[in-house]
Amino acid sequence: MSLFADREVRGFGRLLLAWLLLFLLLGMLFRNWQTGAAKDMLLTHDRVFAASLLEQGVSGETVARALADAWKHGAEREGLSAGDRAQQEAGEEFLAKSGYTKQMPVEFLPAIQVFQSMTGRMALLLGAGLSLFLLGGIVSLLWKRERLCRRAEEVLAEFARGDYSRRLPQAGEGTLYRMFVSVERLTTMLKAKNEAEQKAKETLREIISNISHQLKTPLSALLMYQEIMEGEPENPEVIRKFSAKAGQALGRMERLILLILKIARLDAGSVSFDREPCPLSRLMTESLRELTTRAEKEGKELLLSGPREEILVCDETWTGEAIGNIVKNALDHTEPGGKIRISWEKIPGMLRIVISDNGSGISPDELPHIFKRFYRSPGASDRQGVGLGLPLAKAIVEGQGGFLSLKSTPGEGTAFMLAFLTES
């Protein structure tokens, strides 16, 4: 039974069993003692009675026969012969005339009074001993349980203060220890939740700081451009020049805000990816439509290769966003005359897209930080971007059950690999 899985309950059961055995043993000893005391009392009574009769001149044979009859027929009257029964009735009648009846007070029977007093003291002593034994065992068990609960209370108080270094007692069995295990599990969950919340707060604090930093630059530029244009309202060339710069700053702010909103939607879990069959040739064309024009202006080349009939089951809009962000990153880190290759192939259980360039590459020290939000290479301060494109691409790919990884060699280029699981 699960009740006896508790160590304290088993201990209390053993205590009760020991008390019961002790009670039976002492009861048997008390019975033997009482029997001996009653025997001594009766023998003393008969001895005094016999001595008195002998002093009165009654023959020893008559006294002996009387005592034998008393011992023989004194216990009960059932099964006696008519003569024996008549003899006992005659004796009772004689004693009644002498005042010796069942209603006679104990005070007039000194031997019975002594026997009663001795029996009462012995019974009281045995009862007190048994009670103390049981009480001591119960107090010991309750003290152990109290000590265990106090230990648990101290640990829980530390948990409440945020200190999870100590553990609740878990070395035993039973209901209390199962409860401790459940509390430990709950505490582990709360600890993980607190750590996640703390991490989320730190991330939010970092994001807000980075957003403030990213917006500060174009806002400062806009204010400066406005002051310049207000200072020379009649100079069309200055107005045109700084209006274009203001447009670029506004465009940068718009891109930053749109990227932040997209990442926020992904973090909040409000994005539901639609998984529909999409021809890769169409996906690439739509993803690179605007980037093709930029590549031509910058003297760079986008090269596509792969089976045109290949189909990828994905969310076309979001996957196109991920591919576009990776290609933008490649354009940012490739010099004029550079080449960006986009290829795809199907391998067993997977469809893989590789976007590689022959640009500046990434140093090994920077690789662990590439997918961190707002991270920008120390040498990329003069390039476009705010450090959100690659984290957004990774979130989109992984949100659809895919994988995004990269390989890079400084001075030779970088290759990003997008892998999507397929049914075959």
Residue 381 above 60 pLDDT?
no
pLDDT score for 303: 92
CA gap 154, 180 in Å, rounded = 13
DSSP 8-state code for residue 380: G
Instruction: Name, in order, each residue with C-beta under 8 angstroms of 283's C-beta and a sequence gap of 6 or more.
Output: 312, 314, 316, 319, 320, 323
- Calculate the average pLDDT of the chain: 81
Of 391, 123, 111, 395, nearest in space to 269 by CA: 395
Locate 199 and state its tokens: 């991490």
Bridge-based pairing of strands 339-347 and 301-305 is parallel
pLDDT confidence band for 178 (50 / 70 / 90)? confident
Give bridge partners of residue 380 from the DSSP assignment. Answer: none
> Residue 214 phi/psi, 5° resolution?
-65, -35
pLDDT tens per residue across span 299-352? 999 999 988 889 999 999 899 999 999 999 999 889 999 999 999 998 888 899
Residues in the chain, how many? 424
Mean pLDDT score, 193-199: 83
CA angle, corner 394, sides to 391 and 395, nearest 5?
85
* Per-residue model confidence (pLDDT) at position 322: 92
pLDDT digits (tens, 9 = 90+) for 69-105: 776 665 555 555 666 667 666 766 766 666 666 666 7
CATH number for the region 175-265 comes to 1.10.287.130
CATH superfamily entry for domain 274-421: Histidine kinase-like ATPase, C-terminal domain (3.30.565.10)
Q: What would the pLDDT profile of 95-139 be if each residue is shown by its tens digit?
A: 666 666 666 676 666 767 777 777 878 888 888 888 888 888 888
Q: Which of 397, 394, 396, 400 shows the shortest CA–CA distance to 375?
A: 394
Q: What residue segments make up the domains of the chain, in order of their start? A: 2-157, 175-265, 274-421
pLDDT of residue 1: 47
